[in-house]
Structures are given as C-alpha cells and as structure tokens.
Chain A
Amino acid sequence: MSILVIAEHDNSSLKQATLNVVAAAKAIGGDIDVLVAGENVGAIAEAAAKAEGVNKVLVADNAAYGHFLAENLGELVAEVGKGYSHILTSAGTTGKDFMPRVAALLDVAQVSDIIRVESADTFVRPIYAGNAIATVKASDSIKVITVRPTGFDPVAAEGGSASVEQLDVVKDAGLSSFVGEEKAKSDRPDLASAGIVISGGRGMQNGENFKMLEQVADLMGAAMGASRAAVDAGFVPNDMQVGQTGKIVAPQLYVAIGISGAIQHLAGMSDSKVIVAINKDEEAPIFQVADYGLVADLFEAVPQFEEELKKVL
C-alpha cells in the first residue's frame, strides 16, 4: 500500500493537522508520501520531510496553487494521486473544498471526516452531528479520505528524514481566481489544535463583552471559540464557530460560557478531555456533558474566574 497525504499549510507554516493525518496514514499502514502544494513552500516541504514516518515529500510549487483554489488542487492531486492506494488530507476547509473534486475526477467515493482506521478499507466516522458513529467500508481501488485531526494523535514533528522531490506538474484549470481575503488576526493559539479553548455564546450579549473572555484566554494561553448564535449575531468572526458545521476541537480543557449546548455545538467539542460550563440556566443541556458546571451569571462569574486564575497561574 502507498499513501499520499496532502499537507495542510498556509504557505508560511505546516499545520499541525498534517501530523494528525500522517498518524491516520500510519494506522492504515504502507509507504507514506506527503504532497506539499502551494507557492514558495520550500520551508514547508522541509518541515514535512522531518515528520515521523514520512517516506518522500513531493513539492508542487507554483502560483496556481498559491491560494489553494480547489479547481487547480483537485486536478493536481487527482493526477499525482492516481498511483496510490489512499489519498488523505485533513478535514479543514481547504481539504473539504478540493478533496471531493479529486474523488470525482478519479470516479471514486470519498470517506469524509474519519476518526478511526479499522483496516485498509474500513473507517469510522461520525454522522448525524456525532449522534451516531458509522463504520464504513470503501470498495474503490483508491480510497479518498478526509481525516478529522482530533481523532488521531499527531506523529512527531521531528526525527524523520524524507527525501524531497520537486514536481513540475502545473494545473491551472482557469475556472477561478483569487480576489481577496479577510484573515482574522490573533496571537492566540490556533483554535483547532489549542490545549485550552474558551468559547462564548449568545449569553455574551455582544462582541464587546467577549473582551472579558479574551482576558481569561490570554491568562490561560487559550484559543477562543464561539457558538453559531454568537457568530450569527456578529459578536465574533465566523472562523471561531465550534460545532457540527464549524470547527471540531478536542482540547484538554474546553470552557463554554453562555452556551446552551445544542447538539450541533456539542458535535464540535464533546471529545474535549475536560469540559467546564458556566450558564445561569441550570437546565441548560451543556451541563449534561460538563465535568464541572457552574450555575451563575457569567457577568459575575467570568471576572471572578479571572481573579481566581491569577492567584494560581
């Protein structure tokens, strides 16, 4: 078996999710090659070559891949991937965008968002917002798979010494072009891989009040998240949404503040190691998954939380 992992990166650094995907590839077993497609990605290819268990790094360095346009990446990966038994990438928004194109171009099914490998053709994935866990068997000769990073412990980032090979395949489908982006800038850890996440919901009432949470987050070195209701109301940007249709997180500690705990929200965080909920409604469903629940008005509890943390951190 030979497995092609498509690296997730932003042209400046390799995303940790790639290491989780390599771990999924190791669970399948076989030679693991990593494809780094992007623009000016030399350093990323070097980082990928150091990852544990990687055999070879293939590099497609071209402006056509600079913004990860799915039309171009889809053609590239379908071409490079057709000699492999498995093609894997992380189920981030980039992977979700281009990977189904790869599957369609190869005329194979895609298995989305796997959280476990049972064997080379059988995988486990949540369905119905995590209310059910399906074991599915793929019969196609090439398995196209997106991997939920929280399902797999990452391989070591250092220690490997894969060879690096430049590809000269340029696929520019000419169907789409990049216009612009609004990247939320933050010095906090990346939400998807942070050890601690603090999320606010509709109970926060407005965007201004999220500053209270930011202070606590900075004290703890936490990433910030939110419920859909908080994003829809415009309190915080979309990339903070945790849930079925947002980001999936599984930190050591997840703190939900003013979040009721709708099933769609739980789908994104219920694999966290320890869950804390602060909510003034003692009937809120979030308390059913919380290890530590505090029934309180958040506008009193959050400043107290900050004071108490200062004492111990």
Chain B
Amino acid sequence: MKVLVAVKRVIDYNVKVRVKPDNTGVDLANVKMAMNPFCEIAVEEAVRLKEKGVASEIVVVSIGPKACQEQIRTALALGADRGIHIETDEEVQSLEAAKLLKAVVEKEEPKLVILGKQSIDSDNNQTGQMLAALTGMGQGTFASEVVVDGEKVNVTREVDGGLMTVALNLPAVVTTDLRLNEPRYASLPNIMKAKKKPLDAMSPADLGVEIAPRLSTLKVEAPASRQAGIKVADVAELVDKLKNEAKVI
C-alpha cells in the first residue's frame, strides 16, 4: 500500500521566537528552520509501516518555498521513497494546503495519508482534518497507535479524557501525536542516498489550486510578560505567602 506523508518546514522548535519590531510577524531571517516535529513523527510512522511490510511506497510532499526541499530530502534520508514539492513563495493557509494535498491524493491514490497534528508555527491543527473532509476520508487525529488491518486501520487517539480507538475505512487520514513513536536520526549513508531519490516539483497552478488566503494577519505582538516573582526560603514561607499574600489557598 502507498503512504503519503505531508511535511512542513517550520522554525526549529528550539529557537526563541522574536516578534518583529513593526508587528508584522515574527523574525524568520537567519533563523534555523527544520521539519515540524509532528511531521517527523509522521515520516517515522510511515517508515515503520514499510519496515513491517505494510507500506510498499512512501511519498512525501511539502508545500512552500524552494527551501522546503531540504525537509523533503530529510524525509527521503529517513526512508521515504520519493518527494513532491509544491513550490510557492506565497503564504499557504491550512485550507489551501488541504486543497493542494487533495490534488496530490487524487493523483497518487495513497491508501493512507499521514500528517502532523499541528504545525508549531501557526499552531493551527486543521490541515489533516480538512484534507480528510475534502477527500471524503475518515480521520484518526492525534494518533498514539496506528494498526493497519486489511481494508481498515485502527487508530488510537489521545483525547481529553484519555485514549479512544476508532476504526477507519481505507483510504484514511491519520494525524500524529507525540507518543506515536520516537523518530530516528538519518544516517550519513542514507543522507547521501537521499540525494539521488526522485523529487518532483510543481506549482499550485499545475494542480489547479488557486492560493487565495481567507485570513489576513493585522498584527503580531509579543505576549504580555509576567512580573518577575520572588524566591522563598523554605516551604513554610511558601505556604504563608500563598495564604496571606496571594490568598489563593
């Protein structure tokens, strides 16, 4: 079975994000970029499915500027077979991303599509669900376990009250949560091999999708910072402060 994985290029999760002085966005100049951590988990899951003999081919797709090819190459080094780059310098919002991915799904006809549950830049948590709706597929979001069983996939999901398992008809969409797996690192030989793996580039227009953002960002500000607190000497002082100063107990 063919598995399609969507990976997004985002700011590295270790970078301390700074808002631009003119409040138009965050400063991304000379900032380390990386694959969205949830997408790394998505790639890893696909690779494990292939190692188990469940998946036969892994196609990885990324939407964004030329530099996204770095993240596609990383996924290829981790074990994906082939890459698709949908190149655009425009801002792509979740609905457009889902429409572009739908066009890829129609071409590639994967049995399973794996995405991250959330981009750590927009914190949207939308694209997988939107793709599932647009393609008429079932969805297993926030997955902590994925078991393919014939024409179905069982997905255990991390939900507010604990865990919930759903069975989905294939093809289906899965979005990854943190506990699904622990992604491996790419080895140097695999990084070298990845350079020779096929990578197709295309434009949104090639896929018949118009990029027409529905949301406009009016301003981006730094969050209100908290007043620096105090250090207490011992537990007795702590409890005294909580009771008599903060009055929260």
A interface residues with partner B (beta carbon < 8 Å):
10, 67, 69-71, 74, 92-94, 96-105, 107-113, 122, 125-140, 173-184, 192, 196, 220, 228, 231-232, 237-239, 244-245, 247, 252-253, 263-264, 270, 273-276, 282, 287-296, 301, 304-305, 308-309, 311-313
Q: Which residues of B from 120 to 160 have beta carbons under 8 Å from A?
A: 120-134, 136-142, 144, 154, 157-160
Q: What are 6 A-B contacts with C-beta separation under 8 Å?
A: A93-B157, A96-B129, A128-B11, A139-B215, A179-B167, A287-B229
B141-A293 in contact (CB<8A): no
Which of chain B's residues have a CB closer than 8 A to the CB of A282?
Answer: 231
B17-A292 in contact (CB<8A): no
Q: How far is the CB of A281 from chain B (nearest CB, A)?
A: 13
Task: Say which residue of B25, B98, B249 sits within 8 Å of A220 (CB atoms).
Answer: B249
Which of chain B's residues have a CB closer than 8 A to the CB of A113?
Answer: 123, 125
B248-A93 in contact (CB<8A): no
Task: Say which residue of A108, A132, A270 sits within 8 Å of B17 (CB atoms).
Answer: A132
CB-defined interface of B214-249 with A at 8 Å, one 1/0 digit per residue? 111111111100111111101110110111001011
Task: Say which residue of A94, A129, A134 sits within 8 Å of B219 (CB atoms).
Answer: A134
A176-B228 in contact (CB<8A): no
Which of chain A's residues have a CB closer than 8 A to the CB of B168?
Answer: 175-176
Report the contact-size class of chain B (Cβ under 8 Å from the partner). 35 or more
Is B42 interfacial (CB 8 A cutoff)?
A: no
Task: Say which residue of A176, A238, A293, A305 sits within 8 Å of B231 (CB atoms).
Answer: A293
Q: Which 3 A-B pairs have the closest CB atoms?
A: A175-B138, A100-B129, A109-B214
Which of chain A's residues have a CB closer than 8 A to the CB of B249?
Answer: 196, 220, 253, 309, 312-313
Per the bound structure, the CA–CA distance linking A288 and B16 in Å amounts to: 15
Is B205 interfacial (CB 8 A cutoff)?
A: no
B215-A232 in contact (CB<8A): no
Per the bound structure, the CA–CA distance linking A69 and B94 in Å amounts to: 21
Q: Which residue of B lies closest to A273 (CB)?
A: B248
B interface residues with partner A (beta carbon < 8 Å):
11, 13, 16-17, 19, 25-26, 38, 93-95, 98, 117-118, 120-134, 136-142, 144, 154, 157-169, 172, 177-179, 213-223, 226-232, 234-236, 238-239, 241-243, 246, 248-249
Task: Say which residue of B11, B26, B141, B241 sits within 8 Å of A292 (CB atoms).
Answer: B241
Which of chain B's residues have a CB closer than 8 A to the CB of A244?
Answer: 120, 123
A292-B241, A305-B238 are contacts. A239–B160 as well, Cβ < 8 Å? yes
Q: Which residue of B lies closest to A311 (CB)?
A: B239
A100-B248 in contact (CB<8A): no
B229-A293 in contact (CB<8A): yes
Q: How far is the CB of B204 from chain A (nearest CB, A)?
A: 16
A132-B221, A253-B249 are contacts. A264–B13 as well, Cβ < 8 Å? yes
Which of chain A's residues have a CB closer than 8 A to the CB of B238?
Answer: 276, 292, 294, 305, 308
Per the bound structure, the CA–CA distance linking A105 and B137 in Å amounts to: 12
Per the bound structure, the CA–CA distance linking A283 and B222 in Å amounts to: 23
Q: How far is the CB of A94 from chain B (nearest CB, A)?
A: 7
A93-B160, A179-B165 are contacts. A292–B230 as well, Cβ < 8 Å? yes
